[in-house]
């Protein structure tokens, strides 16, 4: 067995005490309650540009419905232009905005084949009929 002198015992005791204090300080810092903060996060709609008016959406959809292919497809489904206008007026603002946004996407495609217009007409009819 090794015998430790008084000076060495004092150094070892100081090191242990320092370690204990460091561990205690670490535990206290980890256990210390931190202030929490909360705030409202704006939605994506708040960051979006100003929404179109209902009238602008109606005009945009109406311009597409005035096309010959679309009018023909709607009439083949038994819908007269006046009836389509009445049903468009019954759509909610959100549905009308969604329909106008889809029209924008189709027009951005440029020269669209006839079957796309027919599909658009069918989509319009389905939206109108589901919201009656």
Q: Tell me how far apart the alpha carbons of residues 78 and 103 are, in angstroms, rounded to a whole number.
A: 22
Query: Are residues 18 and 63 both part of a single domain?
Result: no
Query: Are residues 59 and 5 both part of a single domain?
Result: no
Residue 45 CA to its chain's centroid (Å): 8
In a domain, 56, yes or no: yes
> For the chain, how are helix, strand and coil distributed in percent, rounded to 5?
70, 0, 30
User: Tokens at residue 114, please?
Assistant: 């006839």
In a domain, 11, yes or no: yes
Domain of 90 in residue numbering reads as 51-130
Q: How many domains does the chain have?
A: 2
pLDDT tens digit sequence for 17-40? 888 888 888 887 777 776 667 777
Query: Are residues 120 and 59 both part of a single domain?
Result: yes
Nearest alpha carbon to residue 96 among 52, 65, 46: 52
pLDDT for position 15: 87
pLDDT for position 106: 59
In a domain, 63, yes or no: yes
Query: Are residues 122 and 71 both part of a single domain?
Result: yes
DSSP H/E element including 118: helix 114-130
User: Tokens at residue 26, please?
Assistant: 């670490």
Query: Are residues 25 and 55 both part of a single domain?
Result: no
Q: How confident is the model at residue 109 (pLDDT cuts 50, 70, 90)?
A: very low
pLDDT for position 69: 75
In a domain, 40, yes or no: no
In a domain, 60, yes or no: yes
| 5 half-sphere exposure, CB direction, 13 A CA radius | 2
pLDDT tens digit sequence for 40-94? 776 665 555 545 588 888 888 888 888 777 777 778 878 788 888 888 888 888 8
């Amino acid at each position: 067995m090794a015998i430790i002198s008084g000076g060495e015992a004092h150094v070892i005791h100081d090191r242990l005490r320092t370690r204990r204090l460091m561990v205690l300080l670490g535990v206290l810092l980890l256990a210390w309650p931190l202030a929490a903060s909360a705030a409202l996060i704006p939605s994506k709609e708040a960051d979006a540009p100003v929404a179109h008016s209902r009238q602008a959406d109606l005009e945009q959809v109406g311009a597409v419905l005035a096309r010959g292919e679309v009018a023909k497809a709607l009439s083949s489904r038994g819908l007269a232009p006046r009836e389509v206008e009445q049903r468009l007026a019954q759509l909610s603002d959100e549905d009308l905005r969604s329909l106008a946004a889809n029209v924008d996407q189709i027009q951005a495609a440029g020269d669209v084949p006839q079957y796309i217009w027919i599909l658009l007409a069918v989509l319009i009819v389905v939206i109108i009929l589901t919201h009656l």
